[in-house]
Amino acid sequence: MQLITDKKIILASESPRRKELFSSLGIPFEVQPSGVIEELDGIYTPEEMAIGIADLKASTIAHRNPNAIVIAADTTVRLGSELLSKPKNNEQAKKFLRLLSGKVHNVITGVSILGQDVSIAFAESTLVKFYELTDEEIDAYVETGDSLDKAGGYGIQTMGGLFVENVQGDYNNVVGLPISRLYRTLLNLGVIEFAKEKSK
């Protein structure tokens, strides 16, 4: 299966994980980090928060690139009524992991797609259950430095995945980009299409 596009596509992200996932589509794209502060004033649901920040990232890059299709994403973790975004320091990362220990939490990624005649956003949710964690393993993991740039203080695709008992939903959504849903959305929008096979 080969996908093609005649659009200029920009991924508004500095995340190497999102870049790697988007690369799986096999289409050309650029990376332009938005540099926006990942915060919104006001009261929002987790889905609204993730979409709102993704919209902010996408609109910042779309303003500079009016002829491009811009894709942005933002991931947050919800435990009960509490939102756990990227920890500000190691102590907060340890606090997050202690809260997640032995519990089921929801990982929500908002995706925004902006461009000429294109404006669509959605949120994907995945349930993740952690094993009971010891203080020793929490401390050892946080000391690796892996926690600080990841929502909830862990990366499922790195050693943080050792804490995960099970996942219900899209694994890639937990990594940071629900690439399957994004692929289908881009296909439905006509941004990407299948390459036609040459007749023999």
Instruction: Break the chain down into helix, strand, coil percent, rounded to 5.
Output: 35, 30, 40
Distance of CA 182 to the CA centre of its chain: 11
Three-state DSSP string of 141-178:
HHCCCCCCCCHHHCCCCCHHHHHEEEEECCHHHHHCCC
Q: Which two tokens stand for residue 79?
A: 């435990």
Torsion of CA 66, 50, 26, 67, to 10 degrees: 0
Rg (CA), the chain: 18
Q: How many helices (H) and strands (E) does the chain have?
A: 6, 9
How buried is residue 95: exposed, middle or buried, by Cβ count under 10 Å (0-12/13-18/19+)?
Answer: middle
3-state secondary structure of 44: coil
State the catalytic residues. 74
User: How many angstroms separate the CA atoms of 53 and 59, rounded?
Assistant: 10
